[in-house]
Amino acid sequence: MSAEQKSRLALAGTALFAIGGVAGFAAPTILKARTASPDAAVLQPVAAGDARAAEPVAQMTVPNYRAIVARNQAAVVGITTASIINANGPELPEGISPFGGGDEDPFFPFFRNMPRHPRGGLARAQGSGFIIASDGVILTNAHVVDGAKEVTVKLSDHREFKAKVLGSDKTSDIAVLKIDARDLPTVRVGNSDQIAVGDYVLAIGQPFGLEETATAGIVSAKGRSLPGDGYVPFIQTDAAVNPGNSGGPLFDSSGSVIGINAQIYSNSGGYQGVAFAIPINVAVQIKDQIMKTGRVEHAQLGVEVQTLDQSLANSFHLNAPNGALVSRVDPDSAAARAGLRAGDVILKYNDINIGDAGQLAASVGMSAPGSKAQLEIWRDGRRMTREVTIGTAGTGVLARADAGGASEHGKLGLSVRPLDRDERQQAGVEGGLVVERAQGPAAEAGIQPGDVVLSVDGKAVASVEQLRKLVQTHDRGVALLIQRGDSRIFVPVRLS
**pLDDT tens digits, one per residue of 478-491:** 889 998 887 888 99
Closest to 488 (Cα-Cα) out of 345, 338, 326:
326
* Residues linked to residue 78 through DSSP beta bridges, in sequence order: 128, 154
Q: Are 212 and 182 in contact (CB under 8 A)?
A: no
* Cβ neighbours of residue 445 closer than 8 Å, sequence gap 6 or more: 1, 5, 6, 9, 480, 491, 492, 493, 494
Question: Taking 90 as the threshold, does the pLDDT of residue 198 lie above it?
Answer: yes
pLDDT at 18: 24
Is 271 within a domain?
Answer: yes
Report CA Rg, the chain.
25
Is 55 within a domain?
Answer: no
Shared domain for 308 and 425, answered yes or no, is no
Is 156 within a domain?
Answer: yes
pLDDT at 20: 26
Four-CA torsion 336, 445, 418, 451, nearest 10 degrees: -70
Domain boundary among 297, 320, 354: 297
Shared domain for 229 and 82, answered yes or no, is yes
Is the alpha carbon torsion for 61, 67, 71, 77 positive or negative?
A: positive
Q: What is the CATH number of the domain that holds 97?
A: 2.40.10.120
Half-sphere exposure of 46 (CA within 13 A, CB side): 7
Closest to 264 (Cα-Cα) out of 198, 205, 309:
205
List b or e across 433-442, with b for residues whose CB sees 16 or more CB atoms inside 10 angstroms.
Answer: bbbbebeebb
> pLDDT category, 194, cuts 50, 70, 90?
very high
pLDDT at 268: 75
Q: What is the CATH number of the domain that holds 347?
A: 2.30.42.10
pLDDT at 54: 53
pLDDT at 49: 47
Q: Which of the two residues, 429 and 410, has the higher pLDDT score?
A: 429
Task: Quote the CA–CA distance of 428 and 255 in Å, as a whole number.
Answer: 53
Please return the burial class of 369, using the count of CB atoms within 10 Å of its CB with bins 0-12, 13-18 and 19+.
middle
3-state secondary structure at position 440? helix
pLDDT at 298: 84
Closest to 110 (Cα-Cα) out of 78, 137, 132:
78
Q: Are 186 and 137 in contact (CB under 8 A)?
A: no
Number of domains in the chain: 3
Question: 311 an active-site residue?
Answer: no
Is 89 within a domain?
Answer: yes
3-state secondary structure at position 84? strand
Q: Which of 83, 143, 253, 256 is catalytic?
A: 143
> pLDDT category, 70, cuts 50, 70, 90?
very high
Task: Quote the CA–CA distance of 483 and 488 in Å, as a whole number.
Answer: 4
Is 43 within a domain?
Answer: no
Task: Quote the CA–CA distance of 409 and 478 in Å, as a whole number.
Answer: 13
> pLDDT category, 444, cuts 50, 70, 90?
confident
Q: Which of 215-229, 322-336, 375-389 has the highest mean pLDDT?
A: 375-389
Average pLDDT over residues 375-380: 94
Shared domain for 304 and 289, answered yes or no, is no
Q: Are 235 and 228 in contact (CB under 8 A)?
A: no
Is 53 within a domain?
Answer: no
Closest to 235 (Cα-Cα) out of 293, 177, 207, 194:
194
Question: Taking 80 as the threshold, does the pLDDT of residue 47 lie above it?
Answer: no
Shared domain for 443 and 386, answered yes or no, is no
3-state secondary structure at position 359? helix
Domain boundary among 392, 425, 458: 392
Domain boundary among 343, 367, 392: 392
Range of the domain at 106: 63-297
Shared domain for 186 and 210, answered yes or no, is yes
List b or e across 218-248, with b for residues whose CB sees 16 or more CB atoms inside 10 angstroms.
Answer: bbbebbbbbbebbbbbbbbbbbbbbbbbbbb
> pLDDT category, 472, cuts 50, 70, 90?
confident
> pLDDT category, 17, cuts 50, 70, 90?
very low
Shared domain for 114 and 208, answered yes or no, is yes
Q: Which of 246, 327, 415, 455 is catalytic?
A: 246
pLDDT at 55: 59
Q: What angle do CA 487, 491, 494 make, to 5 degrees?
A: 165
> pLDDT category, 116, cuts 50, 70, 90?
very low
Closest to 449 (Cα-Cα) out of 496, 414, 398, 479:
414
Question: 246 an active-site residue?
Answer: yes
Q: Which of 56-70, 95-109, 132-146, 187-201 has the lowest mean pLDDT?
A: 95-109
Question: 143 an active-site residue?
Answer: yes
Q: Which of 96-105, 145-154, 314-323, 411-420 has the lowest mean pLDDT?
A: 96-105
Q: Which of 22-26, 287-291, 428-432 has the lowest mean pLDDT?
A: 22-26
Question: Taking 90 as the threshold, does the pLDDT of residue 73 lie above it?
Answer: yes
Average pLDDT over residues 73-79: 96
Is 1 within a domain?
Answer: no
List b or e across 328-337, with b for residues whose CB sees 16 or more CB atoms inside 10 angstroms.
Answer: bbbeebbbbe
Q: Which of 21-35, 174-188, 258-272, 452-466 has the lowest mean pLDDT?
A: 21-35
Q: Which of the two residues, 100 and 350, has the higher pLDDT score?
A: 350
Q: Which of 169, 173, 252, 309 is catalytic?
A: 173
Average pLDDT over residues 207-231: 84
Is 10 within a domain?
Answer: no
Closest to 33 (Cα-Cα) out of 358, 230, 265:
265
Tell me phi and psi for residue 61, to 5 degrees.
Answer: -90, 130
* Distances from the Cα of 376 to the Cα of 345, 390, 492, angstroms: 9, 15, 23
* Distances from the Cα of 146 to the Cα of 89, 141, 304, angstroms: 17, 9, 28
Q: Which of 23-37, 155-169, 429-443, 444-458 has the lowest mean pLDDT?
A: 23-37
Q: Are 417 and 355 in contact (CB under 8 A)?
A: no
Task: Quote the CA–CA distance of 385 and 377 in Å, as a whole number.
Answer: 6
Shared domain for 240 and 368, answered yes or no, is no
Shared domain for 369 and 445, answered yes or no, is no
Closest to 239 (Cα-Cα) out of 215, 266, 269, 268:
215
Shared domain for 196 and 282, answered yes or no, is yes
Is the alpha carbon torsion for 155, 160, 161, 166 positive or negative?
A: positive
pLDDT at 228: 58
Q: Are 179 and 160 in contact (CB under 8 A)?
A: no
Average pLDDT over residues 85-108: 45
Q: Are 200 and 189 in contact (CB under 8 A)?
A: no
